Structure 1
Amino acid sequence: MAPIDLGDDPLALDRQVCFALSVASRNVIALYRPLLTPMGLTHPQYLVMLALWERAPRSVKDLCATLQAEAATLSPLLKRLESIGYVTRTRSTDDERLLAVDLTDAGARLRSEAEKIPYRVVELLGMDVAELERLNAALSRVIDASRTALDGR
């Protein structure tokens, strides 16, 4: 492996991946907020809905794996989505430990409105779709590399 060269100041804020990811995440999520508000969704709830629009019903365990989140994080999101009428949560008759999450009719119908969001975000960012796809691929590599590093601790 070649030596790592981090330049003259390895602690320069503008060179820190964690800083760039943090600011970019905060700013991009802020773009979503006014788009999601009319639907009564927060960004984390939107992520849950995206997973359910891909495939429903899903177990809480499956949602946790898909969204890379803990059950304790998802539980209040799911309760809120249920209270606003977008999902149902039901215990499995075969195994009461399993909780299935499914879309209600209102939750399924919401998808057609939500389909406008990615287009609007691309417009707001003013970036080419190809550039955003490359960024998404690079971030996926960062996620995989960090997960591997964390698993190897």
Structure 2
Amino acid sequence: MTTPTSTQTETQTPDDFLRLDQQICFSLNAASRAFGSVYRVALKDLGLTYPQYLVMLLLWEHGELPVKKLGEHLRLDSGTLSPLLKRLEATGLVRRERSARDERSVVVGLTDEGGALRERALAVPRRIAAATSFDLDEIRDLRARLDKLTAALDSAELETD
């Protein structure tokens, strides 16, 4: 098997750029789906879905948060976030209540059960890291590069509006 030379890669045709294996979006989507499968297994014992886990991570980190702030952190709209929070509330992990300062705002906080779940969740990041087979520096580098990509895409999106 031969590897392409720099001359071969410089002579790619425009059609080559429309190949599925040349699309970064497809690679990111495939990686995301693979992560979803690994998280599904890792979170099964906690009784959480991946989006619910993200909400719990924010609440463990910040304590009570307004629904609006949760949505901003998670990049989710209220139509997606509200049913998610209702399900977490139904399982007894979070409570939702009107803000005393602003009745229009709903604040989400942990119940005792939701706070206690944090201890059991400590193993999840280790399981995920092990599944990647990356060392800690590779994980940090990948996360930084993905954050940079996200910022660039957000900026590009703003320019087209």
TM class, shorter-length? over 0.9
What's 1:142 paired with?
A: 149
| Among candidates 54, 58, 66, match of residue 65 of structure 2 | 58
| Among candidates 67, 80, 92, match of residue 85 of structure 1 | 92
Q: State the TM-score, normalized to the length of structure 1.
A: 0.93
CA distance in 1, matches of 2:38, 2:136: 16
- Percentage of identical aligned residues: 44
Q: Does 1:106 align with 2:116?
A: no
Shift of the alpha carbon at 1:108?
Answer: 0.7
Shift of the alpha carbon at 1:151?
Answer: 1.1
| Among candidates 48, 58, 61, match of residue 55 of structure 2 | 48
CA distance in 2, matches of 1:6, 1:83: 59
What's 1:151 paired with?
A: 158
Kindly report the root-mean-square deviation, in angstroms, between the aligned alpha carbons of the 2 structures.
Answer: 1.4
The Cα offsets for residues 24-47 of structure 1, whole Å up to 9 and x where unpaired, read as: 000011101011111110001101
What's 2:134 paired with?
A: 127
Q: Which runs of 4+ in 1 moved over 6 A?
A: none
Q: State the TM-score, normalized to the length of structure 2.
A: 0.88
CA distance in 2, matches of 1:53, 1:14: 39
| Among candidates 106, 111, 122, match of residue 115 of structure 1 | 122
Amino acid at match of 1:39: L
Q: Counterpart of 1:101 in 2: which secondary structure?
A: strand
